[in-house]
Amino acid sequence: MAVVTAYPPAGALSEGRWPAVWRRVRRIWHNRSAALGGALVLAWLLIALLAPLIAPYSPTAQKVTNRLKPPSAQHWFGTDELGRDVFSRVLHGARVSLPVALAVVAMTGTVGILLGSVAGYAGGLADEIIMRVADAVLAFPSLILAIAITAALGPGLLNAALAIALVLWPEYARLVRSQVIALREMEFVSAATALGASPWRNLFVHILPNALPLMLVKISLDMGNAILLAASLSFVGLGAVPPTPEWGAMVAAGRHKFFEWWIATFPGLAIFTAVVGFNFLGDGLRDLLDPRLRRMVS
C-alpha cells in the first residue's frame, strides 16, 4: 500500500510561528511593572525624537527678566537662574541622556561580549588574563572609578561615556563567560564540531545566539544604570559642559536653591522615570525570555 505524506502548505510554519511570538510579546503587557516600564521608555524615546517640535522655547535661550520664575501657564516647569525654560531643557535633555546611555551600552556590550566569549570558549591563559583584569575593575565602586577615569580624561560627555564603558564591561564579560562555558558542552555544539564546524563558527553561530536573551535583559537594565551614572558625572561637573541641557547638570544647578525647588525637581523626576522604565522593562524581558518564568507570567 502506498503511503501518502501530507506536507503543510507553504507559509504554514511561519503562520504558526508569528502567533506564538505575538503571544509571548503580550505576556509583557500582562506584567504591570513591565507594561509601565515599556510605556515610560517609549514615551522618553518619542520625547527625544520630537523635542525640537514640542519644546515651547529654546533650551539655551536666556532672559534675565524671567529668572527663577515658578511653574506657571507660561513656563510649565518654571525657569532657572538664567531665565531658561526648565520644561524645554528637560525635553531636550532626553536627546542628551538617552544617546549617551545607548553609546555606553553599545561600547560596553561589544567589548564585554567579545572578551567574555574568548575567555569562556578558549579557557586557559586567555581566560585567566581577561578575568583577572575584570576582577581588578570590579574591585572598585563603579561611580568612584568612573569619576577617576573622567577626571583623568577631562570633562565632557564623550569622556564620561568612555569612562562608564570602561567601568561596566567586566559585568558583561563575566556573564557571557558563564553562558559560553555552560553552552559549549551542550550536545548541539558537539554535533556541530563533529560535522566540521570551526571554533569561531561554533562560538558565533551556535553559542552566542543562545546567550542573546540574557544579554538583552542585561542591556535593558544597563540603559538605566548608564543614564544614572552619566547624570552622576554631570552632577559633579565631569559630564556635560554648559549650556548643554543634561539632566544631571540641571539637578546640580538647583541643588542649593531650596526655595526654587522646581530647578532640580523636574530633571530629577526625568532621571527617575527613565531609569525606572528601563529597569521595569528589563524585568519584563527576563520574564518573557526565561523558560522557567514563562509559566508564571502566562
- The mean predicted confidence, pLDDT, of the chain is 83
- Asked if residue 250 has pLDDT above 70, the reply is yes
Does the pLDDT value for residue 296 go beyond 50? no
Report the b/e string of 130-148 with b at 16+ CB within 10 A: bbeebeebbeeebeebbbe
Percent of the chain exceeding pLDDT 90 equals 41
Query: Is the confidence at residue 204, as pLDDT, over 50?
Result: yes
In the chain, domain spans: 29-51+83-297
Residue 289's pLDDT is: 67
- 123 in the Ramachandran plot: left (φ > 0), alpha (ψ -120 to 50) or beta? left
Kindly state the average pLDDT of the residues 49-55: 92
Mean pLDDT within 91-117? 92
pLDDT score of 19: 57
pLDDT at 5 over 50: no
This prediction has a pTM of 0.81
pLDDT in the model for residue 25: 57
Query: ∠ CA(188), CA(192), CA(197), 5° rounding?
Result: 150
Beta strands in the chain (DSSP E): none
User: Half-sphere exposure of 178 toward its Cβ, with a 13 Å CA cutoff?
Assistant: 7
Mean pLDDT over 242-262 rounds to: 87
Classify residue 6 by its DSSP letter: P
Task: Give tens-digit pLDDT for 18-42.
Answer: 555 556 556 656 677 788 888 999 9
Q: How many Å apart are CA 132 and CA 130, to the nearest integer?
A: 6
Residue identified by cell 578558549 is 122
For domain 29-51+83-297, give its CATH number from 1.10.3720.10, 1.10.1050.10, 1.10.10.60, 3.40.50.970: 1.10.3720.10
Q: What are phi and psi of 114, to 5 degrees?
A: -65, -50
**Cβ within 8 Å of residue 223, ≥6 positions away:** 101, 102, 105, 278
Give SS3 for 76: coil
